[in-house]
Structure formats: structure tokens, C-alpha cells
Amino acid sequence: MTETPTNLFSELYAAYAAGCLDPAFALMVETQSALRPGIRQSVAVSEMIAGAVLETAPAAPLSEGALDRALAAIDALDTGAEASVAAGRAAGEATQEVLALPEPLRGAALEAIGRAGWKRMGRGLKRLSLLSDAGLETELYRISPGARIPHHTHAGTEYTLVVAGGFSDERGSYGPGEVMINGPDDLHQPVGDEGEVCYALAVRDGGLRFTGMLGLLQRLTGA
């Protein structure tokens, strides 16, 4: 298995603790923290450091009505989460797998199912677009055992977190809590491992670039 060094994401953890991390990466950090105790510890340490820095910073006055706005935002989040769960349950038995995913990914996935639903990529492959208002492409993949994502490279950098099950490619195998990082020069073909459906969360700053006939079709259609 290919392990992702904890310090590889130290800057992400620090940015998350400071509250300035992009929502897509925040979702990945929180999901990985739910899967790996070691990651939770790293995030907790970053939050302690950020808290210590905050305590020594000079106080800034709150704008008028700031408390009321904050409470209203919390109420809106609670209402949105309840609506997401209701929408997900109404989608049918297939959603039971999603309900087993850790929060906050589960809530984001249920909301996306209610908004646009899964898109089929091929036999045994589906993708779900998350965080429609985020600047980065954020997708959840469902990969059945033995299913193959077509060979592809990447227009930018892609971070893929395995949430459940596992997949393998030319470089190794990846299980729950592990992250694979690919750039424009990386050509690979992920294949779902046997035994369990794989769910993987991908965050990237550019789309996939397929090879072969699929790549030709992609270029002709401008997809």
C-alpha cells in the first residue's frame, strides 16, 4: 500500500485550522480526519497552534449584528443538513452506500444527489459533482470491483482520497484514508479492487485528459 506522509499535508492542516482553506480541500481534510486517527491528531495540533496565535492577537471589534448573522448561518446549516438527508433517503436503496460514508462527505454527497444526481462514466463507474460553488473541481467516484477508469492524464494537479474500498493503478494500491497525487505528466488507469465498492473523493484544479479514441472524442467535443 502506498502511504501518504502526514507532513505532506501539513500546510493544508495549518490553513484548515486557520479557517482559510478552500472548501474543497477542507472537505478532504475533514473526511480524511474521520478515517485516520493520526490525521485527526495532526489537525488537532494545528488547531491548538492556531488558537494560541489567535489568543495573542489584538482583539477586533465585531460589526453590528454579527452575532445574529452567525446564529442564523448555523440554523441554515442545520436545516440544509436535514434537507440533504431527506433528499438522499428519497433517492432509493442505492443511496444506502452514501449514507455509510463519513461526515461531512455524506452530507455533501446527499445534497449533490438531490441537486443533479450521479453521472455514469462507463460500466461500473459513476461520478458525482460536489460543492457546485467551489472554485476547484470536486467529485466523488463510485468504482465497482474490477471497473476501470479509462487511461488519462490531468490538466492540473489532482488529489484523490480513498474513502471506502480501494483501487490500484500502475504505481500501487490505495485504501481508505490514503491519498494519491497526480499531475499533468502522470498517465494512469485506476481499477477498483475486488471485494468492495470503492468510493474516492477527487479534488483538482483542471480536468481529466483521456487518451486513445476517448481522448480524441473529448478534444472534438471540447469536453
Model confidence pLDDT, tens digit, residues 73-113 = 556 655 555 555 555 444 455 678 899 999 999 999 999 99
- Give a yes or no: residue 50 inside a domain: no
DSSP state of 131: -
* CA nearest to 167, candidates 186, 187, 149, 140: 149
Regarding predicted confidence, which is higher, 223 or 53?
223
Element of type H or E holding 115 = helix 105-115
Distance, in Å, from the CA atom of 34 to the CA atom of 47, rounded to the nearest integer, reads: 16
> Across the chain, what does the average pLDDT equal?
78
- Could you tell me the pLDDT band of residue 31, with boundaries at 50, 70 and 90? very high
Distance, in Å, from the CA atom of 111 to the CA atom of 70, rounded to the nearest integer, reads: 22
**143, 121 contact by CB (below 8 A):** no
- Give a yes or no: residue 2 inside a domain: no
- Give a yes or no: residue 180 inside a domain: yes
- Give a yes or no: residue 181 inside a domain: yes
- Could you tell me the pLDDT band of residue 51, with boundaries at 50, 70 and 90? very low
Number of domains in the chain: 1
- Give a yes or no: residue 79 inside a domain: no
pLDDT of 201: 97
Per the structure, the complete domain to which residue 147 belongs is given by: 118-221
Which region among 86-90, 124-128, 130-134, 197-201 has the lowest average model confidence (pLDDT)? 86-90
- Give a yes or no: residue 73 inside a domain: no
- Give a yes or no: residue 189 inside a domain: yes
Work out the end-to-end distance of the chain between its first and last CA atoms, rounded to an integer number of angstroms. Answer: 33
Q: For the domain that residue 169 is a member of, what is the CATH number?
A: 2.60.120.10
- Give a yes or no: residue 100 inside a domain: no
pTM beyond 0.75: no
Distance, in Å, from the CA atom of 125 to the CA atom of 56, rounded to the nearest integer, reads: 50
